[in-house]
Amino acid sequence: MDATKEEFRVMEEYALLSNAIADSGSNASSQLGVSALAFDTEEELLWMGNTGGHVTSYYTYQLQKYTSFQVHELNEVRYLLTGSFGVLSLTQNSLRLSIRRGLTAFTHSSELLKDMQCMTVLPSNLILLGGHQKTLIEFDLERIKQVRITDIDEEGCVIIRQHPKFVCCGDISGKITLRDPNSLRVQHTFSTHSITLSDFDVHGNYLVTCGYSNRNVYTPDRFLMVYDLRMMRQVTPIQMMFLPYLLRFVPAFSSRFCVVSQTGQFQLLDTSASLTPPPLIHNVELTPDAYITAFDVSSSCQALAFADNAGYIYLYGASNEALFNNFSQPTEFADPLEPVPSISFDDVMTPYSTIPMPYYGDEKLFSDLSPELCQKTYRLPQPIDPQMLSKMRMVGSIGYVPNPGNKRRNQMPYANSDNTSGRVLKSPSECHYCATPTSSPSAIYSSNSSTSQNH
């Protein structure tokens, strides 16, 4: 086996890394199926939208829940698109832009958004919206408005894929239209499947489709239609061992893609169908009565994501620590809580203020005292000794008396029940201040007892 085939052999050896039950949202009474799935092109995130209008993101290959928010109360999420602008969620009649932390930037709805199904980013950075309606809508994220409406002749536009030269639009009748990315004029058309189109993808020089054909009964077509965009014609179809339902190109290769059936089989193939030995067929272990509803390939080609109608997400990887992008931006997380220092039970020195106190809002704390227990009262100073007053000598308005020396320096006790006879002051104006005893032979008292000083 040559080096190229050996490299592909390694890349197709995908194994289950993790799975998760999709978040149904607070409004759901039961588990809801997954309707949209997309790897983030900027960060290590996998985005999921369910049939109840709820969007959830999962971090890295471990599928750790990152954000979860409601997009619409009733309508399912039909398409998810990520970029530097954030996360776009498309429902039947609304478009919502959210930042990756879950906050809503805006929600747009109009009379033209009737039955939307898909979207993509144009080279002009406008968002092209399509659906089960005969109009294509170009939307400006910066001005939050529809800037151009293009009428189409096809039976709507249910799948849009981006190509450097074209905007590829597929309708429910099985026809794929290649349009100019600037003017949206029709450049070429392919009639793929006779009944309807199930899925298609385009990469490099090839476009591959799967769908339903009329063989006396409405049945999935076992043949994948392959088209060469250089010659604008169909090349040899690829026959499948199982009924194809979804497909995506593997971006690291120019002609290799992954095909998925509703029952959980998937296989990596080449547009030339020249791989020998035949590629392995993998099986996603679905729950009973479940079927695949969404599928996506990461930009690094290291991870494949599957989701079913039972609300389960399955992540397969080419390595034990698969990366979603080759150069991902760091994901923003909440600031970690600072650890609270432990305090010994008999520690009498550490203040309680070292422990942060949360904000309780209108809730009352146990330490909140009633108003009657929080009234202001004033302490009485100790009355002047009558013996000192009897020895006082007045000089003008100042009285002099010898210091008896029965108290320590700069100390004057407050009044208590023994020396005030139960008096209680109602205001500070009733307080009488006396001089603090010092080592000097005499103390000075003012005659009006409102001020005092040492002498």
Residue-wise DSSP of 311-375: SEEEEEESSTT--S-SSPPPPP-PPPPPPPPP--TT--SS-GGGS-----TTPPPTT---GGGS-
What average pLDDT does the segment 320-332 reach? 94
Q: What is the pLDDT of residue 454?
A: 40
Secondary-structure class of domain 3-317 per CATH: mainly beta
What pLDDT is recorded for position 405?
77
Cα dist from 106 to 82, 86, 97, 143, 223, whole Å: 15, 11, 6, 11, 43
**324 or 439: which leads in pLDDT:** 324
Contact 310, 19 (CB under 8 A): no
**Model confidence band, residue 337 (pLDDT cutoffs 50, 70, 90):** confident
Question: Which of 173-182, 362-371, 426-435 has maximum average pLDDT?
Answer: 173-182
Residue 384 has pLDDT above 90, yes or no: no
SS3 176: strand
pLDDT of residue 164: 92
Q: In the chain, pLDDT over 90 holds for what percent of residues?
A: 59
Q: Which residue has the higher pLDDT, 108 or 375?
A: 108
49-106 pLDDT, tens digit each:
999 999 999 999 999 999 999 999 889 999 999 999 999 999 999 999 999 999 999 9
* Strand order, beta sheet including 95-98: 79-83, 86-90, 95-98, 104-108
**Predicted pLDDT of residue 415:** 67
User: Is the pLDDT score of 411 beyond 90?
Assistant: no
Q: pLDDT tier at 418 (50, 70, 90 boundaries)?
A: low
pLDDT digits (tens, 9 = 90+) for 173-209: 899 999 999 999 999 999 999 889 999 999 999 999 9
Give me the residues paired with residue 246 across strands.
Answer: 260
Report the pLDDT value the prediction gives residue 310, as an integer from 0 to 100.
Answer: 93
> When comparing pLDDT for 283 and 362, which is higher?
283
The boundaries of every CATH 2.130.10.10 domain in the chain are: 3-317
In this predicted structure, the answer to whether residue 296 has a pLDDT above a threshold of 90 is yes
Give the pLDDT confidence of 96-115 residue by residue, as tens digits: 999 999 999 999 999 999 99
Q: How high is the pLDDT of residue 407?
A: 75
CB crowding 242-252: b at 16 or more within 10 Å, else e: bbbbbbbbbee
- How would residue 261 be classed by pLDDT, with cut points 50, 70 and 90? very high
pLDDT of residue 27: 64
* Residue 350 confidence (pLDDT): 85
The average confidence (pLDDT) of the chain is 85
Q: What pLDDT shows up at residue 274?
A: 60
